[in-house]
Structure 1
């Protein structure tokens, strides 16, 4: 039996959670505010786990989590953040502060049981997740990693954890999934936020200029080098260097990059003076780097050095729940009059395959807004999508566009789950991995849709 502290000012929710935890065989402590919880903890032994609501009277949950982390006896206690409004910012903020998990209310009994089993099995005293204040994300001009789907919530959590370190991160994903946005969000959430963020597209710079671009050069290093020039590594000192499309880097440059990552020094071209650099490297690629290693076109040792913290950006077709929220976000541009989506336009967007991912969605919204005659965007305003869409055996059936939105989404979800199960030979764990959701979430979705399956 473990002692669980529950901090929530919603009496009905807190009492329900207390009852659930007690039914699972654990003892409970309760508090309606962060201040009351800190007072209680000063007179009690550290609990095995803390459930902490984000919105509290007085200090909010994030401030409470920060207070817990400065107390030596509480630093390692797992904290599970609870919120009615999960956003990318509050999820990332929670994970950066060491939250163990970030749950969206309401929370089911099975989810609580599974979570406590995981907490108590892996932590005698651990840390948990917490989220910062709920922000109006559509009003911010900063890059934001938006998404409410399970796949994106997992990305946000991993990114938040990565933000608390200076480890190298490798972001993979198809073109248009938001890899640079993720890198910028990671930089902004890290301790290096006040330092520079320097981005280099390795595929856009000619091979004979890439070394100079990254490491700099001395005067007279080559024809036309009339002045000394700082490289991007040196320019990013104290901050983050984003190496986009690192899979396109030629092999000779890969060897030189590997040495810089190992030594944390660069030697400008045409000089003999090494320069120390304090840089966090975030690399990104749409290519299959392990396959490139097998083919001999990418160095295995460099892959090991880059892939310290892997972060995979899921394609938009695997995050159907994010399509309409993202569309609304792009519609909220402060540079143009606000427009709205009709029901038939919503159905079209939610059922389109989006081969260009989030970038294609953003461009489609901008184009429709620019050309539509009225404030209401209809299906006809997005007809160009079908003029440019590539034929695919996996295309979403056109009949879905004629259904009410909830029915269309349910049929689409059923089709995606059935396809994942078929590709996984009925193995539910593998199907959940392909869909980018937890196994428990897959079970719940299958039950809601009346689907049966076999396997783990």
Structure 2
């Protein structure tokens, strides 16, 4: 007897085409036009099911939930959609979809997902000896994902929605690590509680400990009252530590203890405080190499690397450039709608974006401001390698030496920050100065990171 696969789609031509494809692969395909019809069948007879997102009556997500409920989560279900939508992908994975595929679906994609499910079903313990386990589970915040690599990220967010596991997000500076962290939080059971984000590279080392763990009155000069730290502010919710690779070794040891013992000790105190937080960390560095170089604790790395989500750089996801640019333009254009010319979009698509999504956002914002009309032309888009030279102009030459030095220093700092997507550690390395000196000069010149 051939293995059965259920196909739920109200579009007869697509349903029949998928049935034929599955028959070519040696399966018996059973097609129905609605989720209600599918629920009338004996679902234990099927290896898996395909369900369309847009169905009459009960929609695809409602049908997915009902199928999972009726089979006690034992039937793998693949959701099909003709329209890509990040929120729908995440919601489908949250409800337990095995995968979420976009129409038209290639034969290779069908063969691959069916093979994965078949291998998983064959290796799973029988229901007599083990309770059924979900095949997949989520998140939300609007992440734009047209590329396969980013859709895999969305699916990972969805599957993690019912978990409190520690997550390490890796990726280049500006690739969207904090947005992924916020999606993980907003799709979790802790969504109603706060998410506290701390950038370890943006806070001087001398202050980072008290920012994380809090301090008691008299702990140091200026500590006139007890002060809660990020762990306490995130109680019941999520603590996100960005650029954790920049954390000093002594502070890494204290963080490790907090993760292991689920308690912290405030600066200047000896009294432990219990914590209940979901922990997410992110870095643009290769932590495994940092461990080898004795710059990062191996035991902390293992604690953090329970689940890793690797974000692709924007140059590795060119399909996302246009929808991201158009999304940013809608935000920055405000009440005067604008759009890109075909040539402008082609120019963006050819660029490598060393600063990733953050650089694209800055380019779009600048183009929106400088564009004269409703259409942004190719000539109105200035890319990184086309920035005007920052050499000494006539105005600078007319300044006093101290003013000229200050002007040049400020421009160099802004250029380094912009070129490193405002990663202070990276900018300090480019400038050949200590990070603390960079902070001092940023304060002196009133340099503040622009809102993104």
In structure 2, how many angstroms separate the alpha carbons of the residues matched to 1:29 and 1:274? 60
Question: 3-state DSSP class of the match of 1:170?
Answer: strand
What residue in structure 2 maps to residue 70 of structure 1? 69
1:110 aligns with 2:111: no
> In the TM superposition, what is the alpha-carbon distance from 1:22 to its structure 2 partner?
2.2
Query: CA contact under 8 A between 1:62 and 1:131: conserved in structure 2?
Result: no
Question: 3-state DSSP class of the match of 1:223?
Answer: coil
In structure 2, how many angstroms separate the alpha carbons of the residues matched to 1:2 and 1:74? 20
What residue in structure 1 maps to residue 13 of structure 2? 12
Query: CA contact under 8 A between 2:339 and 2:376: conserved in structure 1?
Result: yes
Question: 3-state DSSP class of the match of 2:78?
Answer: strand
Runs (5+) with no aligned partner, structure 2: 125-132, 390-452
Question: 3-state DSSP class of the match of 1:77?
Answer: coil
What residue in structure 2 maps to residue 181 of structure 1? 179
Q: How does 1:134-145 map to 2 (within 5 A)?
A: 143-145=141-143
Q: How does 1:280-295 map to 2 (within 5 A)?
A: 280-295=278-293
What residue in structure 1 maps to residue 34 of structure 2? 33
CA RMSD of aligned residues (A): 2.1
Question: 3-state DSSP class of the match of 1:171?
Answer: strand
> In the TM superposition, what is the alpha-carbon distance from 1:155 to its structure 2 partner?
1.3
In structure 2, how many angstroms separate the alpha carbons of the residues matched to 1:60 and 1:127? 21
What residue in structure 2 maps to residue 59 of structure 1? 58
What residue in structure 2 maps to residue 195 of structure 1? 193
Answer with 277-286 or 377-386: which moved more.
377-386
Question: 3-state DSSP class of the match of 1:25?
Answer: coil
1:131 to 1:254, Cα distance in 2 relative to 1, 3 A: closer
> In the TM superposition, what is the alpha-carbon distance from 1:143 to its structure 2 partner?
4.5
Q: Structure 2 length normalisation: TM-score?
A: 0.79
> In the TM superposition, what is the alpha-carbon distance from 1:54 to its structure 2 partner?
0.9
1:389 to 1:146, Cα distance in 2 relative to 1, 3 A: farther
What residue in structure 1 maps to residue 330 of structure 2? 332
Q: Structure 1 length normalisation: TM-score?
A: 0.79
> In the TM superposition, what is the alpha-carbon distance from 1:185 to its structure 2 partner?
1.2
Query: CA contact under 8 A between 1:200 and 1:244: conserved in structure 2?
Result: yes
In structure 1, how many angstroms separate the alpha carbons of the residues matched to 2:268 and 2:251? 16
How many residues align? The count is: 378
Higher-Rg member (1/2): 2
Per-residue CA distance 1:266-322 (angstroms, 9 max, x = gap): 122222322221111110111111111010000011111001111111111111111
Q: 2:305 aligns with which of 304, 307, 323?
A: 307
In structure 2, how many angstroms separate the alpha carbons of the residues matched to 1:234 and 1:131? 25
Per-residue CA distance 1:348-396 (angstroms, 9 max, x = gap): 0110111111111111111111111111101110135432399xxxxxx
Runs (5+) with no aligned partner, structure 1: 133-141, 391-456
> In the TM superposition, what is the alpha-carbon distance from 1:32 to its structure 2 partner?
1.5
What residue in structure 1 maps to residue 271 of structure 2? 273
1:242 aligns with 2:240: yes
Query: CA contact under 8 A between 2:168 and 2:304: conserved in structure 1?
Result: yes
